[in-house]
Amino acid sequence: MNAKNERYDLLKGLFQERRFFKLVCGAGNENLTEVRRLAAIYTIAGAAMHDLSANIDVVEAAKRGVEEAYALAPLLGKKIAMRPYLNVSIGLKGDPHVRKALIDRGACVECGECIKACRQEAISEGYSVEEFKCIGCGDCESVCPAGAIRYIHKRADFENILPECAKRGVETMELHGVTDDDEAVLHDWKLLNTIITDNFLSVCLDRSLLSNRHLIDRIRQLHEVTGERMIVQADGVPMSGEGDDYNTTLQAVACADVVMKSGIPVVVLLSGGTNSRTGLLARQCGVNAHGVSVGSFARKLVKRYVTMEDFDTNIDALSEAVSVAEELVRANLEAIGG
């Protein structure tokens, strides 16, 4: 058995034992400092995978974060249980995870509400969006009184970028398919399947545009391509998980329930509105998902550390950040692993 297959078996084992926690850095998050620091914190805290934008610089930043974690963990008295998998995400046109906000200056009334609402601090005082920070969450649009927020979607040269990501250590890939265009989803799924041939592929789906039946039909169609190597990241409400209560995470559990009840033999991850209550709610509802992916809430928990000017040299800040991250990982894994 070669090393690559061993990593596949290890990941499969984590799913079977329900010991899988994924940090979602953000499919559109190209803030290299933030990604590096998030990767360092959550590697020590026990995340099994880091989900990244399909961008070579972002992948390299995450790799640096993982290496920093190995160097710093002993100073915190910690031992890293496993080297996390790096996953890159791509998305189809219209999927909120991969869009970027753009302010229509002709319509903007310069009220400043979007600046206050933006969790990524991506909007400057001059009312322009710093693309590399924007994660497409839509919070700016929801507070804009003038309807001045537009979105752009740039389709990158994935045919070349994705193989390069794989060469640089990316082991799994994910397709964000919030669209009603089944053909487009299948096309990109097949593309990923030509690049990752011996490990899991993930599709992130929600029910914003699809009925339950359409969701299951799509999963069945994609499953015919990858078979058992398929993960369904069942998204409740994308990027909605900044709150830490049961209602915020309700749709994540509900979507996973729909997928699990289909009986299609895929790995199912809870996502989209996930927080520290997700694992517990899933368990109480009898939804035996194989893992938990946390993005917005995981990033928010450690944001005050990640944005510190001296974070890279401040071991106390790292220690505190790791403690709060560990608590999030532990709360979810204890609940789903039950």
Q: Which residue has the tokens 């001296």?
A: 310
- Residue 182 CB, nearest approach to ligand SF4 (Å): 27
- Residue 302 CB, nearest approach to ligand SF4 (Å): 17
- Residue 163 CB, nearest approach to ligand SF4 (Å): 29
Distances in Å between the Cα of 252 and the Cα atoms of 97, 164, 271, 314, 330 are 16, 32, 5, 36, 19
Name residue 253's amino acid. Answer: V
Name residue 32's amino acid. Answer: L
- For ligand SF4, the closer of residues 90 and 134 by Cβ is 134
Query: What are the residues binding ligand SF4 (CB under 6 A)?
Result: 101, 103, 108-114, 117-118, 120, 122-123, 127, 129, 134-140, 143-146, 148-149
Q: How many residues does the chain have?
A: 338
DSSP 276: T
- For ligand SF4, the closer of residues 82 and 108 by Cβ is 108
Paired sense of beta strands 291-294 and 20-24, if any: parallel
- Residue 133 CB, nearest approach to ligand SF4 (Å): 7
Paired sense of beta strands 149-152 and 100-103, if any: antiparallel
- Residue 144 CB, nearest approach to ligand SF4 (Å): 3
- Residue 139 CB, nearest approach to ligand SF4 (Å): 4
CA distance 196 to 173: 7
- Residue 97 CB, nearest approach to ligand SF4 (Å): 11
Q: What is the secondary structure of 136-175 as a DSSP string?
A: ---HHHHH-TT--EEEE-----HHHHHHHHHHTT--EEEE
- For ligand SF4, the closer of residues 73 and 146 by Cβ is 146
Three-state SS annotation for 33-58:
HHHHHHHHHHHHHCCCEEEEECCHHH
- For ligand SF4, the closer of residues 37 and 99 by Cβ is 99
- For ligand SF4, the closer of residues 99 and 290 by Cβ is 99
- For ligand SF4, the closer of residues 280 and 302 by Cβ is 302
What is the distance, to the nearest Å, from the Cα of residue 36 to the centroid of all Cα atoms in its chain?
15
- For ligand SF4, the closer of residues 136 and 241 by Cβ is 136
Return the percent helix, strand and coil in the chain, to nearest 5: 50, 15, 35
